[in-house]
Amino acid sequence: MISMWLMTVALAGGDPCARDADDMAEVSAELAGMWKADQAERDAGDADVAKNDASRVKSARKLMSKGEVCTPEDHYHAALLLFRSDKADDLGMAYNAAKEAMMHHVHSSPYVVAITFDKWRIARGLTQRYGTQLSNKNGKLCVYEVMSEATNEEREKFGLEAIETQYTSVLHASGFTDDQPTPENIHRRDLHCVLEAW
């Protein structure tokens, strides 16, 4: 049975990644340029960053949907751009793009896999796995609940610090500097972010 992807390719008249090299280079340059602009705006504290994020997410989503994101580096940049979205579909797309980059050993891609996976789960009202996502609740820093089965050894493989580092940051931000960085103390201090689908 022919897969949906192969059917789409057949209907479209071929693999979109088998197109002209100049066209592919143009898409690569567009994605890399959008990512550089993202970083420059954040470094400069640009007031228009949220509006520009929305535009960049839209552009990355369009390129991904058309199958024009082809190289491992392109997938890496697309994942980082789509990560700025708050929509579960975009975040799922970001996670898949990050996995594609990681399969080809693109620098820092394991970290991007972890952050996109966590944010994608949170957007659907699910607990995060790696503990990368923080937010604010009642004016205080909070951490979204983390799956208990995730280990620090696994986090290390994705370029992440031990979960206790996140718990320490959250507790210290609220003045609880004597508390041990445990999920129990996060619960006790009411420092878990509200988990609900966006």
What element of type H or E holds 76? helix 72-82
The H or E element spanning position 30 is helix 21-44
Residues 25 and 115 in one domain: yes
Q: Are residues 113 and 149 in the same domain?
A: no
Looking at the structure, tell me whether residues 76 and 149 fall in a common domain: no
Structural domain includes residue 38:
yes
What tens-digit pLDDT sequence spans the chain (198 residues)?
434 443 444 445 567 787 778 888 999 999 999 999 999 999 999 999 999 999 999 999 999 999 999 999 999 999 999 999 999 999 999 999 999 999 999 999 999 999 999 999 999 999 999 999 999 999 999 999 999 999 999 999 999 999 999 999 999 999 999 999 999 999 999 999 999 998
Number of separate domains in the chain: 2
- Do 75 and 151 lie in one domain? The reply is no
Rounded Cα distance between 161 and 157, Å, is: 10
Whose CA is closest to 113, among 94, 128, 126?
A: 94
Contact 127, 145 (CB under 8 A): yes
Which of 67, 89, 123 lies at the terminal end of a domain, its last residue? 123
Of 74, 100, 123, which marks where a domain is finished? 123
Q: Is residue 32 part of a domain?
A: yes
Query: Is position 10 within any domain?
Result: no
